[in-house]
Amino acid sequence: AQTVTQSQPEMSVQEAETVTLSCTYDTSESDYYLFWYKQPPSRQMILVIRQEAYKQQNATENRFSVNFQKAAKSFSLKISDSQLGDAAMYFCAYRSASRDDKIIFGKGTRLHILP
């Protein structure tokens, strides 16, 4: 069974600085999708970025980028120029390309932005 592990329950970063959130996963599959979702206090789970495993190029979305290391089964999220609105729970998630139903989530990392 696939698992997703986020080893940092909480992190803090100074406003305007850069922070990296870690995620590792375990799977025997070769084709899959990885995601980072953000959940602010409003509870709405918002998609931040996604990566297809067959793509070697790391995904980027404005200030958000990932470091996808397929062999190491690592998928970290880098947030540049951190803003107060980035404060939230961040969840790393996995979806098989062959099993077309569920997304598997990690336990999350709570990110604090210090003014």
Partner 1 sequence: ETGVTQSPTHLIKTRGQQVTLRCSSQSGHNTVSWYQQALGQGPQFIFQYYREEENGRGNFPPRFSGLQFPNYSSELNVNALELDDSALYLCASSKSPRTGGETQYFGPGTRLLVL
Residues that bind partner 1 (CB under 8 A): 4, 33, 35, 37, 42-47, 50, 91, 93, 95, 97, 99-108
Comparing CB distances to partner 1, the nearer of 16 and 103 is 103
Residue 94's H or E segment, with its range, is strand 88-96
Longest dimension (CA), the chain: 44
Sorted by sequence, the CB contacts under 8 Å of residue 106 that are 6+ apart come out as: 4, 5, 6, 23, 91, 92, 93
Tell me how far, at minimum, the Cβ of 99 lies from partner 1, in Å.
7
Tell me which DSSP letter residue 63 carries.
Answer: T
Comparing CB distances to partner 1, the nearer of 65 and 80 is 65
Comparing CB distances to partner 1, the nearer of 4 and 79 is 4
Tell me how far, at minimum, the Cβ of 17 lies from partner 1, in Å.
26
